[in-house]
Structures are given as C-alpha cells and as structure tokens.
Structure 1
Amino acid sequence: MSSVRQAVRDEAAPAGQAPAPRRPGPGKSMLLELCGVSVSYPSRRGPVLALDKLDLAVQPSSFVSVLGPSGCGKSTLVKLVSGLLKPTTGTIEFDGVPASGARDDVGVAFQQAALLPWKSALENVLLPIRLTGKSVQTAAARARSLLDLVGLSGFHDRYPHELSGGMQQRVSLARSLIRDPSILVMDEPFSALDAMTRENMMIELQRIWLETRPSVLFITHSIQEAVFLSDRVVVMSGRPGKVIEDVAIDLPRPRDVHTLADPRFVELSNHLRDMFNREH
C-alpha cells in the first residue's frame, strides 16, 4: 500500500490545524493518487525542480482545488494527471492502477477556451469524439444536452466569434464533459474573464458539478474561487511545489453570492491568505 493511501484523510484538516493522517474508511477509496511525485526539467543551467515529492489524493465525486502562487508547478500537475507528462520520480494511480499515458476518463479545461473558430459550439463539443474515432451521431444528443446544461440552449449553432468570453468557456466545459470523465482537471479556467463573469461562472460551475458529480481537480491562484467551489483546498508552496496544507471547506451547498459574505467563508479565506503571507 502506498504512503499516500496509508496517510490519506477521510476529510481534510480543519483550517489552522495540522492534518491527522488515517486510512480511508469504507467507501472512501481514492480515484486519483500521486505519491512522492517529483518533476525535473532540463535547462542550460542544470535541472529545474518543478515539483518535489508531492503527495495528493482525490476521492470520487469530490471537488478539490489546488491553490498556489505562480510558478509553483500547478500547470505541471495538470500535465501529469492528464497523462501528457510522466513524473521524474514517484507514482500516479487511478483507482489503484498505475497511470500510463493519456486517458479517456480524464477531461481537461484550460485557461483559454481554445475553440476552433470555424466550427460551431456543437461541433467544438464533439471534437474529442471525432479525434478518438467514435460515432459522432451517437454522441450528438449528449453534446446538445451538455450545451443546455452549461446554459447555452439556443446557441448550439453559434460560432466562437458570436459568443462572449464566458460563453466560450461554457463550450469548453461542455467539451471536457463529453466523454463522461471520472475526473475533470481545470487549469485556471476563469483567469481571462472579468470579475463579474468569473463570479457568475463559479456559481454555474458549482451547479453543473452538483448535477454531474465528476471528481474535479481545480487549479487556481484565486482564494475566493478555491473556497467557494471546493470540498478541500490543497495549498502548494512556491517552487519546487509541494503540499503545505490540506484544508477542509465546511460551507453548506449549494453556495451563492451570499456565501461570499458568510463569516465562515471570510474566516477560511483569511486563513489561506495568512498562510501565503507567511510562506511567501
């Protein structure tokens, strides 16, 4: 049994308290586990260590945010989980099986929507199906349902230039869900949006997650996003990135704009902010 599985918690530690390691209880098996993962990149001045002995575990149907400063290895983590990069040392497992290359059950949403401008919203959502050689006709109904789910009913045939930035990100989210992923990796998907749109997208993402319930690994440097969306917030140090705290977010769901003024929301946000001030 890996050290991550031995040490994982049923719930993360309350804010301000060190986590108490214990094994998962019945029904608490891990969907994703990274154990002692380090990644080193070559450079002219020698190897650059991006991640250093990182341990991370994600339960099925949970929403976990990874919060850290720029350059802490968050994007490297996205590449590892999506199968685009192999760790220099350490192991990555899905349902207890070692990872090997890209996986159909991992959906990825990036910072930019990256839609093909000559394809409609519906065709952009269907793109992963075409790339894997599966039946587009079979998937078309699901693609339409996903566009409706993300709030784009009536916009199936619109092209990216006809959509706002927030609407383009909704198409990107629908595309990442088209293969019914067991885990959805989101790499700062709202970073290019204005403040009001980001707030609306947080609420919409929570609604979509509550309806579909994939596990989500949400990469962000926004404390507000992390606290609002998550069951747990995993805090990373500066480079080389490693986990310095795992904080349980015990706010009731569903959350709305009033949650942002909730005393517990403010307390958790301040705790995370104080942690970064101490660390950096």
Structure 2
Amino acid sequence: MDPAAALPLLLRQRGMAAPRAGAGAPRLRGRCGDVPPPGGAAPGAFPVGRPIARARLGSRPRRAAIGNEETMTPEIAQDPPSKSIASIGMGRIVDRSETAAEAGLPCVVEFRNVSKTYNAGRRNAFTAIENINFRVRDLPGHGELVCVLGPSGCGKSTILRLIAGLPPQHPPTTGEVLVGGAPVLRPGADRGMVFQDYTSFDHRTVLENITFGLECMGVDRRRRRELGYEWIEHVGLDPKHDALKYPHELSGGMRQRVAIARSLILRPRIILMDEPFGALDPQTRMNMQDLLLSLWRESEATIFFVTHSIEEAVFLADRIYIMSKAPGTILRELWVEPSDRPARQMQGDPRFLETVNYVRNLITQLELEGRIAEGTT
C-alpha cells in the first residue's frame, strides 16, 4: 500500500473522515467531518495537546547496566558466538539480559512467531518475514527508540505495517502481533506513522496539513490553529513564513518536518517511521536526526525506525534489530549506548566509528554464515 492511500486508511480506522481525491485529479484534498472518533483515543494514547518543554540534547535516559559486563574491543572474532542479545557501548560490546523488574513490565509491542506470506497458496507466493519474535517493554517515563536494520526486501516495512494494522501486510499469515497487550485488529489512534514518501495533501497549507488529524477529531478551529502554530515552530519551521505555504513550496526536509508534526500533534503512544530521512541529503538528514531525538525525548513514545544506514541506526537507537534477507528473520538484537551530542559531532567520534564498524563487520559475518548454512558459498 502506498503512503498516500495508507494515511486516509489510518484516519478512517480511527473513526475519522478520510481525505478525498479531487475529481479526475491524482492529488489528495483532505476533508473531515466534525464528529470526534467514537470512544475517543485508543487505550494508551497520549492526550492531544501542546508540545511540552523542549528537552536538552544529551538528556536521553540512560539504561543501568544489566547483568555481567565484559569490556571488549569491537572485533568480530571477540563477539561471544552463543549470545543473540548484546549491548554496544562506544567502542565496546557488553552482554545484556533482561532484569526481573523489566520482565514484569507490560509490553508496548510484542511479536509472537509472526510470519507474513503474500499470495499464500499460489505460484507467486512470497514470504516477507518468518518466525519473528520480540518484546518491547513499556518503560516508565520514556519509550525506546528501536531501529530495524537490514537489506532491501527483508520485511522491515512489513513489520511496521503489521504494528500499524495496515493491509495488505496486516493481518499476519501466522502468529500474533500485540500492541499494549491486545492483538492488533486495525489502525488506531495510539499509533502514528511517518513514511519515506511525502504524504502531505497538495491543496492544504502547512498549517492545514499539520492540523488535519485534529480537524478530523472535531477539535475547534481556534484550538487547531493554536496547536498547529506551536508545532510548526516546534519542528523547526517558521510560523510566520511557512504556515501558509503549500507542499510544492517546501524542500524535502521541510515536508518531512510537516509529516512528523502531523503525527506527533496527536500524541500517539507508538511512532512508526519507515525510512523517513532516506531521500534527504546528508546535511539535512543529520539535522532531522537531531530533531527526532529532541522530539522523542519529550514525547515519551516508543519509536520503531526502519533504516538502511548503520550510522543512522547507531546514532538514534536504544536497540537495533538486524534482519536477514527475505524471508526476513531477526539475526541479532543489539543494545546501543545513547548518543549525547549532535549527529555531526557523534558521527566523527572515533568510538562512534568503532561501533559502526563493529556492526558493519557483524552484518557481513552474519550474511556469510547464512550463505554457508544455505550451501551457496
């Protein structure tokens, strides 16, 4: 499903009116009724409201060390082969296990033996993911930022869309996807999604695009404008000069700022980001990475972030899932030390580069082991 079609479905499943296309025109023109979604937001969703105070860069919550730690140099040969879960510090790898306290926390998202096969039973059947299992806990006071890293076609986006409840990826062929302890049946207000492709409505201004979800929820015009202008500024745009611009007047980075604001203004519990910075130039991409971390620290949401970039995953993530080629499985789960400086500084730090090289070498080793197991090398 393309992003332009997915956004109306997300809103419609939330009990909101979907945007309609103009007659004979491919451009989307958003329209909403004034009736709020029945029953309000889904359980676990944050209340809609103004942005909270901006967090200081470097205030990312740090995890306490868990279990026994053994400092190592970042060489592949030194990675304990029997461990499937590891924790990376800057230039080191540390074994990690879940504490009893963490094990007692509820899960934000859980996959139980999930597989997805398209066109099942037909000659052109294709298995995107196979036997995926993981748990992301609902940590008190802050959510995790989980990066899904792997080659093209390995099922990274399928995982996101299964969490979102978007067809045709949803439902899974086998297994169960749970959000907040309940099976995912459809899209919900507790999950927001940001796509790589630009999904703004062409005939709506920046302000109208950002406040589209609020309009569909029946929030009055004055309140929508107030929150919209606050979020325009919050994502680094100029309320005075950018609010009344149309998407064709914006750069790629500005469009993605609008998309992020449109998602976060609804305060979802889970934010799903499908390579949102993949089409941006390196400078803009680093700016957006810094912005995302700043907004995430404020939101307390759990973020699932799909990327091809090892540097991006190491900079952003608390946890990285390394995926195999299709049918995608989780080859390794890595815990990453939080970044405490802007992207430009971190990505030039020798310890950061050691960690990136470790992950790159690990992926190479895992791919080689996979080919050996298949007898193709």
The question of whether the paired residues in 2 share the 8 Å contact of 1:37 and 1:88 is answered with yes
Q: Does 1:77 align with 2:77?
A: no
User: What secondary structure, in the 3-state scheme, does the structure 1 residue paired with 2:102 have?
Assistant: coil
Q: Does 1:37 align with 2:82?
A: no
User: What secondary structure, in the 3-state scheme, does the structure 2 residue paired with 1:261 have?
Assistant: coil
Residue type of the partner of 2:109?
L
The question of whether the paired residues in 1 share the 8 Å contact of 2:316 and 2:339 is answered with no
CA shift for structure 1 position 219: 0.6
Mean Cα deviation higher: 246-255 or 135-144: 135-144
Mean Cα deviation higher: 136-145 or 230-239: 136-145
**Equivalent residue pairs, number:** 272
The question of whether the paired residues in 1 share the 8 Å contact of 2:210 and 2:258 is answered with yes
Change in 2 beyond 3 A, CA 1:118/1:217: same
CA shift for structure 1 position 35: 1.3
User: What secondary structure, in the 3-state scheme, does the structure 2 residue paired with 1:31 have?
Assistant: strand
Aligned residue among 66, 81, 87 for 2:148: 66
Q: Does 1:125 align with 2:214?
A: no
After TM superposition, list the pairs within 5 Å mapping 1:166-185 onto structure 2. Answer: 166-185=253-272
Change in 2 beyond 3 A, CA 1:195/1:252: closer
After TM superposition, list the pairs within 5 Å mapping 1:129-208 onto structure 2. Answer: 129-132=214-217, 135-154=220-239, 155-208=242-295
Residue type of the partner of 1:64?
V
Q: Residues 81-119 of structure 1, C-alpha deviation per residue, up to 9 Å, x if partnerless?
A: 111111111111122122211111100000012111111
Query: Which consecutive residues of structure 1, in runs of 5 or more, have no partner in the other structure?
Result: 1-9
Residue type of the partner of 1:111?
Q
CA shift for structure 1 position 147: 1.6
Residue type of the partner of 1:257?
R
Question: What CA distance in whole angstroms lies between the structure 1 residues aligned with 2:229 and 2:175?
Answer: 40
Mean Cα deviation higher: 63-72 or 153-162: 153-162
Question: What CA distance in whole angstroms lies between the structure 2 residues aligned with 1:276 and 1:54?
Answer: 18
Q: Residues 45-87 of structure 1, C-alpha deviation per residue, up to 9 Å, x if partnerless?
A: 2421111010122234111100011000011112101111111
Q: Does 1:88 align with 2:167?
A: no
Residue type of the partner of 1:52?
E
User: 1:49 aligns to what?
Assistant: 127
Question: What CA distance in whole angstroms lies between the structure 2 residues aligned with 1:45 and 1:139?
Answer: 50
TM-score (ref. length: structure 2): 0.67
Aligned residue among 61, 66, 86 for 1:13: 86
The question of whether the paired residues in 1 share the 8 Å contact of 2:331 and 2:366 is answered with no
Residue type of the partner of 2:132?
L
Question: What CA distance in whole angstroms lies between the structure 1 residues aligned with 2:296 and 2:205?
Answer: 24
Aligned residue among 306, 326, 329 for 1:242: 329
Change in 2 beyond 3 A, CA 1:69/1:26: closer
User: 1:115 aligns to what?
Assistant: 200
User: 2:4 aligns to what?
Assistant: none
User: 1:4 aligns to what?
Assistant: none
Change in 2 beyond 3 A, CA 1:127/1:55: same
Question: What CA distance in whole angstroms lies between the structure 1 residues aligned with 2:230 and 2:149?
Answer: 31
User: What secondary structure, in the 3-state scheme, does the structure 1 residue paired with 2:347 have?
Assistant: helix
CA shift for structure 1 position 27: 7.0
Mean Cα deviation higher: 115-124 or 28-37: 28-37
The question of whether the paired residues in 1 share the 8 Å contact of 2:272 and 2:305 is answered with yes
Question: What CA distance in whole angstroms lies between the structure 2 residues aligned with 1:203 and 1:257?
Answer: 9
Mean Cα deviation higher: 19-28 or 241-250: 19-28
Question: What CA distance in whole angstroms lies between the structure 1 residues aligned with 2:355 and 2:327?
Answer: 25
Please give the root-mean-square deviation of Cα atoms over the aligned residues, in Å. 2.4
TM-score (ref. length: structure 1): 0.88
Question: What CA distance in whole angstroms lies between the structure 2 residues aligned with 1:46 and 1:216?
Answer: 33
The question of whether the paired residues in 2 share the 8 Å contact of 1:50 and 1:241 is answered with yes
Question: What CA distance in whole angstroms lies between the structure 1 residues aligned with 2:326 and 2:218?
Answer: 40
Mean Cα deviation higher: 28-37 or 224-233: 28-37
Quick check: which has more Rg, 1 or 2? 2
